[in-house]
Amino acid sequence: MGRRSRLFGRGAAAAVLAVLALLPGAGGAAAAPSPGPGPASSAGDSGGDLASDLAAVDRSTAWTQLSTVKLNFPTYHPEGLVVTADRFYLSSTQIIEPTQTYPAPVDGFDRTPGKGVGHLFVIDRTGKLLKDVVLGHGDVYHPGGIDLHGNDLWVPVAQYRPGSTAEIDRVDIRTLEVTRAFTVDDHIGGIVYDASTGHLVGNNWGSRTFYEWTPSGKPVTTWKNPENLVDFQDCQYVPKGKMACGGITNLPQTPTAGGAKATYELGGIALLDLRTHAVVNEFPFQQWSAAGHVMTRNPLKLSADGDGITMWAAPDNGEESAGTQIYTWQAKVPKRS
């Protein structure tokens, strides 16, 4: 834990320039402090074949860190990330009063609701905060993983406890107006817009169950997570009819490594088929942040560009050693015949 990535030489510098050329707005000049143009395209909508690329990744795939963007404002506990050509959209939970575990369940809950505030940060590609959109109300203050389709940014905002309730919000990125689309009788920790069906897919606490709804909230189907390696934190739609999810499992350690309280963070990414609900591919991702967290701990997004995959991740909380940084990684994948 706590390992920092090595510094890279000329080859990585060339890779950085290549990625920046593909992503206008990433180059250091501050963007105008408006919510952003529309319609927008998320990172996953790039011209590459992300599904095929992710299916080709394995444990031996080498990932190179290209850059970091430091966020110099209070970021609290980041939850979900969307990347466009000139913006980062970052959801986050501000804890005012932590939840407390009950000695015995109360009204079906294992803990108190706590108190907090949900945030959606609109950030330019240099890390400058453009807008802080407050989300939620009362006990509902935990925004989760987010996804963008057209101008609609979909955000689940839930109580910070399992088996609770959530609302599904739609944020128009042109105006940043928030509309509550529908409510759910479960904690929803992440959401994806399935462009192949026009439906929404959400995962609950620990991502053990997936739900599918119409955009108005009509239930379509429910299924159990076929993957048990990690709990998914942030997911995204992958054309056509796929979903990529990153997550984490905290594993207890042996007595000589500090005992059960000294957990090890196992990170990983999975590609799932939204029609069959099967895992297409999954692989560990063991790269570490400045605060010693695995990169897939919370927000991340992926994009296919030519012969490689670009990943953006923001694993660290605002109050940790180096604050929240958005890391950019890239991996080369085998050419498809």
Cα separation, 173 vs 190, in Å, equals: 18
294 in Cβ contact with 230 (< 8 Å): no
Q: What is the pLDDT of residue 33?
A: 39
Which whole number is the average pLDDT over 77-93? 97
Q: Is the dihedral of CA 75, 77, 80, 81 positive or negative?
A: positive
Is the confidence at residue 151, as pLDDT, over 80? yes
Q: What is the pLDDT of residue 334?
A: 75
**Selected residue with higher pLDDT from 256 and 15:** 256
Digit-coded pLDDT (tens) for 161-194? 999 999 999 999 999 999 999 999 999 999 999 9
CA torsion 224-228-230-235 (nearest 10°) is: -30
Cα separation, 74 vs 92, in Å, equals: 10
Amino acid letter, 267: G
Choices 2.120.10, 2.40.160, 2.40.128, 1.10.3470: CATH for 10-26+42-332: 2.120.10
Place of tokens 């453009």: 130
Q: What is the pLDDT of residue 99?
A: 96
Digit-coded pLDDT (tens) for 107-139? 999 999 999 999 999 999 999 999 999 999 999
Is the confidence at residue 258, as pLDDT, over 50? yes
Q: What is the pLDDT of residue 147?
A: 97
* Prediction pTM value: 0.85
Q: What is the pLDDT of residue 307?
A: 78
Name the most confidently modeled range: 9-13, 39-43, 146-150.
146-150
Q: What is the pLDDT of residue 38?
A: 38
pLDDT grade for 262, boundaries at 50, 70 and 90: confident
Structural domain spans, the chain: 10-26+42-332
Q: What is the pLDDT of residue 263?
A: 86
292 in Cβ contact with 324 (< 8 Å): no
Is the confidence at residue 268, as pLDDT, over 60? yes
Q: Which of 4-18, 237-251, 260-274 is predicted with the least confidence, judged by mean pLDDT?
A: 4-18
Is the confidence at residue 325, as pLDDT, over 70? yes
Name the most confidently modeled range: 7-21, 135-149, 251-265.
135-149
Q: Which of 46-55, 74-83, 275-284, 312-321 is predicted with the least confidence, judged by mean pLDDT?
A: 46-55
SS3 category, 51? helix
Average pLDDT over the chain reads 87
Q: What is the pLDDT of residue 26?
A: 37
